[in-house]
Amino acid sequence: MALIFPKESLSAFPKHLTPAYRSTVKRSPSKPLIIVPHTLSELTGPVYGHDAMQEGDNDLTKQHNGEPLGERIIVHGHIYDEDKRPVPDTLVEIWQANACGRYVHNVDQHPAPLDPNFTGAGRTITDKNGYYRFITVKPGAYPWGNHPNAWRPNHIHFSVFGHSFLSRLVTQMYFPGDPLFPFDPIFNSVTDEKARQRMVSSFDLENTIPDWALCFRFDIVLRGREATPQDADKH
Amino acid sequence: MSDITPSQTVGPYFAYGLAPHSRCNWQPNSHYDSKETVGADLVTPDATGQKIRIEGRVLDGDGLPINDAMIEIWQADGQGRYAHPRDNRARPNTKFKGFGRSATDKNGAYSFDTVKPGSVPGPGGKPQAPHIVFCIYSRGMLRQVYTRLYFSDEAANAADPILALVPTDRHGTLIAHKEMRGDLAVYTFDIRVQGENETVFFDI
C-alpha cells in the first residue's frame, strides 16, 4: 500500500501562532516553514507490536489496588486513514486528569485531590479492524492560567501513530455538549466548526453497559490516502 | 477537503503518559508501572554502526529553556535501512527500531543514545546525507513541528537534496556538532523554536 500524504489535508489544523492561547506566542515558528518533498524518511515511521503492551494497559481503572473514584466510562472507536480504511496494529496512547480534574504530575498545582487509585495513563494497539477500547473514568474540568477564570473542558489526550511519521497525531478528545467549549482557546484554535466537532466524542448508548459504565465513541482519521491517477499527473 | 482529526497541544502533563521512564518531573508516588514502550535509548544489542549520543536543548522565542517539550526521532539504521514495510530493502538489524522519545528536563535538555544512520535514498534516487527526522511537541505548540538533524562530519551534506532547499544562511540550524567524549561521539543539536537562529522547520 503506497500511501500519499497531501498537505492540503492539514488545512483544518490550528495555526502555530494562536495568540488567544498565550503559550503559543513564544513557542511558534516565526519564519516560514520550508517546503520539501516527502522522501523515504518521512514516508516510513515507527511500527509497534502487541509485545509493547502489558495486560491492563487499556483499563485505567485496574492499575492500582482499588478502583478510582469518578464516573466509569468506556472510550472506544476506530482509527482510519483518509480513505476511511482502518489502520490496524497501531499504537494508541492516552493520558488524562482524574475525576476531580487533577493530573498526576508535580507541575499540576490545582487544589483538587489526587486519587491513589488512578494514574491516568493508558495504551493499546488497534486490532486488525483499526479498533481500540479503553476503560477509564471521566476526567474533570480544571482551571489554568491562560486568562482570568480559564477552565479546560473535560478532555482525554490521545497520541496515535498510523502509517508513517507524517500521520503521527497528538490530539485531545472532548465530550459532547461541554459548556466550556466557547471559552477554550485550545479547542477553538481549530477555527472550522466541522473540524472542531471531529475532536468531540459521541455518546454511545448502544455500547453503554447497563448498571456499569457509560460509553463514548471517538473515531480518529489520520493523514494518508491512496494515490489517484490525478495525483500521478501532477508530477 | 479532508476530514482528518485536528491536532491539539500535547500540554504540560504528557510525561507520565508518553515518557513515564524519562527523567522529567512527575509525581513519583503510586503510579502505574507500565513497560517502557518508547524510550531515549535506541541501541539494541544487534545494532550495527557507530554508537553515538545526541544532546541538546529546546529554547523558546526569548531563548529560555522549554522544560515541557517532547522530542521524537525517526531514523534509519547504520546501513541506511528503515524498520518499516515501505522500505523493502534487505535489513540486517531486525531489532533496531529507529524510533525514540525524550522529554526535556528543567533545563530544556534532551538526549538520545543511538547509532549513526547510513545514507538513505532521496528524490529521483539521489542519496540523502545521513540524517535523523525530529518531531517536536510541547505546551504552547498546537501541532508538532518537524526538522532534521544532519551531522557536522559528513561531506555528503554538501550534495543533500533536502538541505539544498534550505537557504544557505540557515543550514547551520540543522547541523549537529560533534565532540569526542572518550570513545563516544556526542553530537549537540539545540532546537530554537522561534527568533534569532530559529531552527528550520519543514512544511511536510
Q: Does a structural domain hold residue B6? A: no
Active-site residue numbers of A?
103, 142, 152, 155, 157
Contact check, Cβ <8 Å, A41/B12: no
Give residue-wise pLDDT tens across range A194-218.
999 999 999 999 999 999 999 999 9
Report whether B173 contacts B200 (CB < 8 A): yes
Length of chain B: 204
pLDDT computed for residue A25 by the predictor:
98
Q: In chain B, where do the E strands start and end?
A: 51-59, 69-74, 99-103, 109-115, 120-121, 127-128, 131-138, 145-151, 175-181, 184-188, 191-192, 202-203
Best interface-test mutation with A: which of B1, B2, B4 has the largest number of A CBs within 10 A? B4
**What CATH number is given to the structural domain containing B160?**
2.60.130.10
Residues in a beta bridge with B55: B111, B188
- For the CA atoms of chain B, what is the radius of gyration? 17
Number of domains in chain B: 1
Q: Could A40 and B87 be called an inter-chain contact, meaning their C-beta atoms sit closer than 8 Å?
A: yes
In this predicted structure, the answer to whether residue A230 has a pLDDT above a threshold of 80 is no
Between CA A82 and CA B4 the distance in angstroms is 7
DSSP B18-36: H-TTSSS----TT------
Predicted confidence at residue B93, as pLDDT, reads 65
Rounded Cα distance, B123 and B204, in Å: 14
pLDDT tens sequence for chain B (204 residues): 579 999 999 999 999 899 887 755 555 555 777 777 789 999 999 998 999 999 999 999 999 999 999 999 999 999 999 999 999 887 766 789 999 999 999 999 999 999 999 999 999 889 999 999 999 999 999 999 999 999 999 999 999 999 999 999 999 999 999 999 999 999 999 999 999 999 999 999
How far apart are alpha carbons B173 and B154 in whole angstroms?
15
Q: Is residue B8 part of a domain?
A: no
C-alpha cell at A157: 489526550
In chain A, domain spans: 66-233
Collect all residues of chain A within an 8 Å Cβ-Cβ radius of residue B166: 34
What is the rounded CA–CA span in Å between residue A146 and residue A137?
A: 26
Structure confidence at residue A1 (pLDDT): 55
Q: How many CB atoms lie under 10 A from the CB of residue A126? A: 23
d(CA A198, CA A132): 17
Interface confidence, given as ipTM, is 0.96
Report the SS3 class of residue A218.
Answer: coil
> CATH assignment of A66-233?
2.60.130.10
From residue A3, how far is each of A41, A182, A220, B88 by CA, in Å? 14, 37, 17, 15
d(CA A193, CA A176): 14
Q: What does the block give as the cell for B168?
A: 544557505
DSSP B116: -
Nearest alpha carbon to residue A120 among A144, A90, A91, A156:
A156
Domain limits at B88? 39-192
Distances A191 to A14, A184, A231 between C-alpha atoms, Å: 7, 12, 28
Q: Half-sphere exposure (CA, 13 Å, Cβ side) for A148?
A: 0
**Rg for chain A (alpha carbons), in Å?**
19
Q: Which residues of B touch A82 (CB under 8 A)?
A: 2-4
CB A25 within 8 Å of CB B64: no
**From the CB of residue A183, how many other CB atoms can be counted at a distance below 10 Å?**
14
Closest to A224 measured CA to CA, from A62, A74, A42:
A42
Chain A positions touching B81 (Cβ under 8 A) are none
Question: Do B204 and A36 count as a contact with CB atoms less than 8 A apart?
Answer: yes
Residue B88 lies in a domain: yes
